[in-house]
Amino acid sequence: MTDRRKADASGAFADLFRKQIFIPIAALLLLTVFNLAVDPSFFKVTLGTNSAGNPVLTGYLMTILDYGSEVAILAIGMTLVTAASGGQDISVGAAVAIAGSVILRVLVGLGGDGALRAPIIVGFLAACLVAMFFGAFNGVLVAIFKIQPMVATLILYTAGRSIAAWINNNELPIVTDKTFTYFGGFIPGIPVPTPFFLAVVCVIITMLVLKFTNLGLYTQAVGINASSSRLNGLNPTFIKWLSFVILGLCVAVVALIKTSRLSTINYSVIAKDIEMDAILAVALGGNVLSGGRFNIMASILGAYVIQFLTTTLYKFNVSSDALPAYKAVVVIVLVVISAPAVKEKLSGLGKRLTKQRGVA
């Protein structure tokens, strides 16, 4: 009976290994064990007060939930773009700068005193429209003009921050209304960072859309073989275009969080390199970067693992300039693990272990 249980356990492990979510879970466990061994206080969470006198939870885990939520929101849209187009959007950081600039322009205008001139929801909706427009622009280049996604989005990556500065005449508007800070900070009386709740809302909406529509199925079909999907009555051009528009919505949410944190914007720094974290989250989630099958939840978990790694490195006083080097190591490992030859060998190893357990 014991041998049978071992065989079942081995089979379950082999099944887990073949699933996309195995990689982020393994990375999460590795980082957890490392921090427990080096400094268990990494997981300490304390209840304190912020500058406004409201109770808030503080600690490295709260930092991961807070800033990891930004990457998680972007990872939702980036996963769909990757699955449908077989490429990645490298312009999301610049798009966040544009959307954030629009929010501030609508809320306080130019040369104002910082007081709100329009409701926050109006500023956010304006940012959604603008971000969706630029997402649609990228989608047209990819879906209609058949330009490789990374090349197509290089246009906005290059010009986006200049456009963001132009929107506000290169000024740095400041919002003085305290309610605006809630979206990137804490809601009074709630000690958990607001960005985490925004990420949860985005995840719930995405899951409901995928559950009650055929978007997920159509996206995977187009990503696997656009020609075959067309023969089956789908419109690959529209599906690819739509994935970029959805990513635009995700960009608008992150822009709201980013501008809310400081109540202003720095065009050259805001969301810098966040597109790399979003792409890495998709890769860490085990999604095929050449398009096709995807797992949104694995990408979201991957986003928090990326922030887990970033926070761990910051804890050990690794400079921000050196962070890309460490993340490059993660990319190399992911690329190697995702290689067909490696996958085939590891899968064969898992099957052999299962058979040996069964015979024993």
Q: Does 57 lie in the same domain as 192?
A: yes
Whichever domain contains 103, its CATH number is 1.10.3470
Q: 49-58, 89-98, 317-326: which has the minimum mean pLDDT?
A: 317-326
Q: Does 230 lie in the same domain as 87?
A: yes
Residue 63 has pLDDT above 90, yes or no: yes
Residue 1 has pLDDT above 60, yes or no: no
Residue 49 has pLDDT above 60, yes or no: yes
| Amino acid 301: pLDDT | 93
Q: 247-256, 294-303, 319-328: which has the minimum mean pLDDT?
A: 319-328
Residue with tokens 């041998």: 3
| Amino acid 333: pLDDT | 77
186 residue type, one letter:
F
Q: Does 312 lie in the same domain as 189?
A: yes
Q: Does 131 lie in the same domain as 59?
A: yes
- Residue 79 is part of which domain span? 22-317
Separation of alpha carbons 193 and 176, rounded Å: 20
Residue 306 lies in a domain: yes
Mean per-residue pLDDT for 45-52? 87
Q: Where are the beta strands (DSSP E) in 110-242?
A: none
Q: 179-183, 254-258, 274-278, 354-358: which has the minimum mean pLDDT?
A: 354-358
What is the DSSP track for 74-132?
A: HHHHHHHHHHHHSS--TTHHHHHHHHHHHHHHHHH-SS--S--SS-HHHHHHHHHHHHH
Q: Dump pLDDT digits (tens) for 190-234.
A: 999 999 999 999 999 999 999 999 999 999 999 999 999 999 899
| Amino acid 97: pLDDT | 97
Residue 13 lies in a domain: no
Conformational region of residue 177, where left means phi above 0, alpha means psi within -120 to 50, and beta covers everything else: beta
| Amino acid 269: pLDDT | 92
Q: Does 223 lie in the same domain as 343?
A: no
| Tokens representing residue 56 in the block | 């808030």
| Amino acid 288: pLDDT | 84
Residue 7 lies in a domain: no
Q: Does 261 lie in the same domain as 221?
A: yes
Residue 45 lies in a domain: yes
Task: Give residue 171's pLDDT band: very low, low, confident or very high (50, 70, 90).
Answer: very high
Mean per-residue pLDDT for 165-174? 94
Residue 174 has pLDDT above 70, yes or no: yes
| Amino acid 340: pLDDT | 65
* Average pLDDT across the chain, whole number: 89
| Amino acid 9: pLDDT | 47
Q: Does 348 lie in the same domain as 252?
A: no
Mean per-residue pLDDT for 262-271? 93
Residue 328 has pLDDT above 50, yes or no: yes
| Amino acid 358: pLDDT | 60
Residue 155 lies in a domain: yes
Residue 299 has pLDDT above 50, yes or no: yes
| Amino acid 23: pLDDT | 79
Task: Give residue 124's pLDDT band: very low, low, confident or very high (50, 70, 90).
Answer: very high
Of the two residues 211 and 332, the one the predictor is more confident about is: 211
| Amino acid 38: pLDDT | 92
Residue 2 has pLDDT above 60, yes or no: no
Separation of alpha carbons 281 and 287, rounded Å: 9
Residue 337 has pLDDT above 80, yes or no: no
Residue 342 lies in a domain: yes
Q: Does 341 lie in the same domain as 228?
A: no
Q: Does 151 lie in the same domain as 275?
A: yes
Residue 130 has pLDDT above 80, yes or no: yes
Residue 14 has pLDDT above 60, yes or no: no
Is the CA virtual torsion 301, 307, 311, 317 positive or negative?
Answer: positive
Task: Give residue 52's pLDDT band: very low, low, confident or very high (50, 70, 90).
Answer: confident
Residue 89 lies in a domain: yes
Q: Does 336 lie in the same domain as 249?
A: no
| Amino acid 3: pLDDT | 52
Residue 6 lies in a domain: no
How many domains are contained in the chain?
Answer: 2
Q: Does 271 lie in the same domain as 290?
A: yes
The CB density around residue 320, as the number of other CB atoms within 10 Å, is 11
Q: Does 329 lie in the same domain as 207?
A: no
